[in-house]
């Protein structure tokens, strides 16, 4: 094994973003062909508990290996949940009626995809 360690990735202040990355440097022995692995590491950060790390929908991977220097860790929110697009009001059938008759200029609300915020613990290893 070449080296191992932990770091954090930061998706920013709430509401956050869908992806982020962090550069790991100081890896003088890493080769261009070294295999690098990164993973969500269930350790408390200033923003999230260890339990949140276990259930959150974050995909983590490592790449962009630079010989004698290090690599980059990429983290992405993989959640496919989106707020539904809705029209202001209480009508249960408004969405159906709008799709048939048009919205009549009414503005919708919602439709924003989920984002991750704050710092998350990441483990990494290369050989």
- Tokens matching residue 97: 């009626």
Q: Residue 51 domain-assigned?
A: yes
Q: Residue 8 domain-assigned?
A: yes
Q: What is the pLDDT of residue 87?
A: 56
Q: How far is CA 57 from the centre of its chain?
A: 7
Q: Residue 100 domain-assigned?
A: no
pLDDT in tens, 71-80: 999 999 988 6
Q: Residue 30 domain-assigned?
A: yes
Q: Residue 94 domain-assigned?
A: no
* Stretch 23-51: mean pLDDT: 97
In which band, very low, low, confident or very high, does the pLDDT at 108 lie, cut at 50, 70 and 90?
Answer: low
Q: Residue 107 domain-assigned?
A: no
Q: Residue 38 domain-assigned?
A: yes
Q: What is the CATH number of the domain that holds 61?
A: 2.60.40.2080
Q: How far apart are CA 107 and CA 127, in angstroms?
A: 54
Residue 114, pLDDT > 80, answer no
| DSSP secondary structure letter of residue 92 | T
* Stretch 42-51: mean pLDDT: 96
Report the number of distinct structural domains present in the chain: 1
In which band, very low, low, confident or very high, does the pLDDT at 6 lie, cut at 50, 70 and 90?
Answer: very high
Domain encompassing residue 70: 3-82+114-126
């Amino acid at each position: 094994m070449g080296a191992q360690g932990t770091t954090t990735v930061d998706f920013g202040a709430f509401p956050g973003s869908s992806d982020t990355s962090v550069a790991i440097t100081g890896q003088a022995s890493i080769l261009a062909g070294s295999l690098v692995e990164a993973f969500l590491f269930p350790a408390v950060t200033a923003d999230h508990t260890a339990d949140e790390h276990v259930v959150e929908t974050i995909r983590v991977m490592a790449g962009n290996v630079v010989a004698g220097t290090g690599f980059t860790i990429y983290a992405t929110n993989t959640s496919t949940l989106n707020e539904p697009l809705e029209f202001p009001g209480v009508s249960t059938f408004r969405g159906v009626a709008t799709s048939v008759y048009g919205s009549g200029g009414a503005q919708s609300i919602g439709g924003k995809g989920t984002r991750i915020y704050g710092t998350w613990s990441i483990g990494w290893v290369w050989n």
